Each structure stands twice: as structure tokens, then as C-alpha cells.
Amino acid sequence: MNRELARVATAGAAGALLLGLAACGGGSGSGGADGERAADGKVEITVAGMPPSTQPASQKDFLADVAAFEQANPTIKIKPTDTQYDVKTFAARLAAGQLETVFRVPLTDPPSMIKRGQVADLTADLKSLTHADFDTRLLAPASGPDGKVYGLPTEAYAAGLVYNRELFTKAGLDPDKPPATWEDVRAAAKQINDKTGVPGFGMHSTSNTGGWILTTMTYAYGGRMEKEEGGTYVPAFDDASTRTVLDLLKAMRWEDKSMGTQQLRNFDDMLRDFASGKIGMMVGAPNLFSGYKLKFGGDPDKFGQTTLPMAPGGGALLGGTVAVVSPKATPEQRQAAVKWIDYYYLRPKYDVALAAKRAKQRKADNLIAGLPVLPFFTQAISGPVIEAERANSNVPWANFDTYINGVASQEFVPEPPVAAQELYAALDTVVQAVLTRQDADPAAELKKAVEKVTPILDRSQQ
């Protein structure tokens, strides 16, 4: 090859590649939340959560909603994606500018995202909502320590106790009268184990779920995991409530032998074992019913749900999902995003006809329709909506009776405010110790956990 030509070709090839790469780098942000005002003067936002094409009726309905919304708001253009939030890809997508303007996260995540400045402050936009008079207990989990609101609830559940109704019957227990105290839980677990050979009670213990359920049970006993001292949060779990929970678990595991020998299970392991009838009872909320039936093929008629037994001062840990807005959104995009959240996620919570329609569509797609959830608004608004959902539901509501009747009067408690996931990870170890080592001393394990958690809380509040 002619040398001069080769040189030109080399430079040309390298230049073309660089240009290509530069185009890739620059292009990555354009579809994301930092996209600018479209050429036709419209504000463009991307929204996650479009049902995938495997759910045709729901997807069609979603796209119809998008079209109707755009018609009602001619200055807003919606770009839907069927992406679901995943904690593992969140950081990369945020950094690459590919995060949607609106996306939903589990209720466990907003506190740490707020702390890191990874979600937008929506306080100023709340007044634009059709019904801003939320049950304030539901806004708390997505509110920052500064009192500002960073997310809007789209589903809310209070932690309860799920149980296998068939195992209850086989063990000679009445499935319509589930345990009302922790002593009842222990006795029922032993009876199930003795009569059926199936572990009567199961406990999560890995991937931070051990700490999470320990927190849930501690709350039910009236305890808290963190407390404020002189303006900073310190561990509060080394107290009688958490020790009582651990003593109870220890007694069930080693004295009654009603928890089986297989431990170290995460959320999915537990749900799979529960759905296949290998666990009598476990801590869980109604939203488990979806995975129970659709993912693990559990029998709906065997699913029982009741409230968590509460000691004086006890409260139920809240779960569910929250719609949040990308921190890279412009003020116009943020306002448009809140309008969309109101239109798509909140409207079915106050519009009776829409609630019924959505439930029917979910039923048509063989999804779970009309799950018993916590009401968002006053009885006057939420009551008829819940009735409409129940009428079009494919969930055995009768199996949730004690839960629905009991949960209304419960106090709700949000996640620990500082470094909840790190706290849960440290407490996983405590739960694992109690479940896998007969000589583990709950009090000593809690002391060790305090030593682990204290520097984490200090670091998180730097």
C-alpha cells in the first residue's frame, strides 16, 4: 500500500472511530431525563413502568392513557419504556443519563436516595395534585429529614403475618382465627410442626431481609432501630424489644424445633418455600400474594393474611412502592412528571370507574387484580374505590379479612431513617447467629451489631 495513502487511511479510520465514540457518549443522555425541551416547544419526559408486551391488555391501556394524557396536556410529550427499577442497574443508568424522568422504587429505597441527592424534591409540585390530602402516614417514608417530600406512594402495605391455611387445618388450627399474639404464633408454629412435619414458622435471614424482618418484628414489639441523640442518629436496637424478638426466634428454632433446619433464606427463597407449602407462617404483606401465585404457582385458597401481633406501643412497618422523579429533570419536566404520576398512579385511587377498569384489565392479563391495599385518602374517597376493586378482584378477599379489619387502626412506622440497608446487613448476621448456632446469645450478638453499626451511622451522617 502506498505509504501516504496508508497514513491518510489510518488517520481517517481513527478519526471516524473517535467520532463514533463521541457520538455514543453524547447520545446517551438525550433519551434520558436530562433531555431538553423538544423542538416543537413541548416538554418531553420519559416514564418507566409500561407493562411489557406479554401483558397486552394492560399495555394497550397504558398507551391509551399516555395518549389521553398528552391530549389533556398538549405541552407535554411522554416517552414510555417498559423498564423496571433495579437497584443493581440504577447507578449506571443514572450516571449514563438513561434514567427515566419518572420511575417507581420500593419503599425501602427513598431514604438513602434522598440522602445521596438522587431523587428530585417534589414538595413545590404537590399543590398541583387533584387530591393532595393524603393519609400523611403514607407520605412519611418518602419524606426527607428536612420535611420535604421526594416521592408519591403508588401502593402501600403494612407488614403482617402470612400463613398457609391448609397447614392450619391439617394441624387442627382454625384458619379463620389466625394467631393474635406472639405467644399464639409460637404455639401455632409448634402445633403445625408437630402435626404436619412442616416447619411452622420461617424467618428471612440473607440479602438484608433478616435485618428487615427483625426490624418489622421489633417495631411490632414497640421498639425502634435508631434514635436521635443530640442531633445525630445512633443505634437503638440493643434494647428489650429486639432481644425479646431474638429470644422468641431462638426458642422456636432450638426449643420447639418449629422452624426447620434450613435457614439463610432471602426474600425469594422464603416465598418459594411458602408457596410450595414448606413453611406454615412468616412475616409478610398482601403484596406477597402476587409472587406467591404468579411466580411460584401457590394455591390462592391456601394463602392466609393477618396483621402482625402488636405489643403496646407497637407499629407496623410500611412497605409498597413510591413514584419518584429523576434528579436530572428540569423544573418543567418535574412538574410534568408529577402531573403524570397523578394522572396514571393516583387517579385510580380516587376515581371509582377507573379503579374498576384497571382491575378488569389486570384480570384479562391474568395478573393479580384488586389486592387489599392501604387506603390513600379519607374513607369518603377511598371507600368506594376499594369496593370497586374488590368487586373486580381475582384475589380471595375472605382470606384477608382479619388483616383488612385489623390494619386500619394500626400505627405505621417507616424504615430506619439513616443507612437502613447497612443496618439490615449488620442485623442479618445477628439473625443468622440465632438461627444457625444453638449457643448464640442474643444480647451478645446485639452488642456486636451495635459496634458494627455505630461507625456506619457516623459515616452516613458526615
- What's the rounded Cα separation, in Å, for the pair 370 and 73? 29
Question: Under 8 Å CB-to-CB from 354, ≥6 apart: which residues?
Answer: 347, 348
Buried b (16+ CB within 10 A) or exposed e, 48-63: bbbbeeebebbbebbe
Among residues 53, 54, 71, 261, which is the contact residue for another protein, using CB under 8 A?
A: 261
The yes or no reply on residue 439 touching another protein (CB under 8 A) is no
The yes or no reply on residue 452 touching another protein (CB under 8 A) is yes
The yes or no reply on residue 9 touching another protein (CB under 8 A) is yes
Nearer to another protein by Cβ, of 12 and 383: the residue is 12
Instruction: Please provide residue 271's backbone torsions phi and psi, each rounded to the nearest 5 degrees.
Output: -65, -40
Among residues 208, 215, 218, 321, which is the contact residue for another protein, using CB under 8 A?
A: 208
- Binding segment for another protein among 108-116, 187-195, 239-247, 339-347 (CB under 8 A)? 108-116
* Contacts (CB under 8 A) with another protein, residues 321-360: 327-328
- Binding segment for another protein among 3-11, 134-142, 244-252, 371-379 (CB under 8 A)? 3-11
Burial class (CB in 10 A: 0-12, 13-18, 19+), 3: exposed
Question: Under 8 Å CB-to-CB from 359, ≥6 apart: which residues?
Answer: 369, 370, 388, 389, 392, 393
> Would you give the DSSP letter of residue 142?
G
Among residues 19, 72, 91, 294, which is the contact residue for another protein, using CB under 8 A?
A: 91
- What's the rounded Cα separation, in Å, for the pair 437 and 262? 12
The yes or no reply on residue 58 touching another protein (CB under 8 A) is no
Nearer to another protein by Cβ, of 20 and 56: the residue is 20
- What's the rounded Cα separation, in Å, for the pair 210 and 431? 6
Nearer to another protein by Cβ, of 204 and 362: the residue is 204
- What's the rounded Cα separation, in Å, for the pair 209 and 182? 20
Query: Minimum distance between the CB of residue 262 and another protein, rounded to whole angstroms?
Result: 4
- Positions that interact with another protein (CB under 8 A): 1, 3, 6-7, 9-10, 13-14, 17-18, 21, 87-88, 91, 94-95, 112-113, 116-118, 199, 205-208, 260-264, 266, 278, 327-328, 419, 421-422, 425, 428-429, 432-433, 435-437, 451-452, 455-456, 459
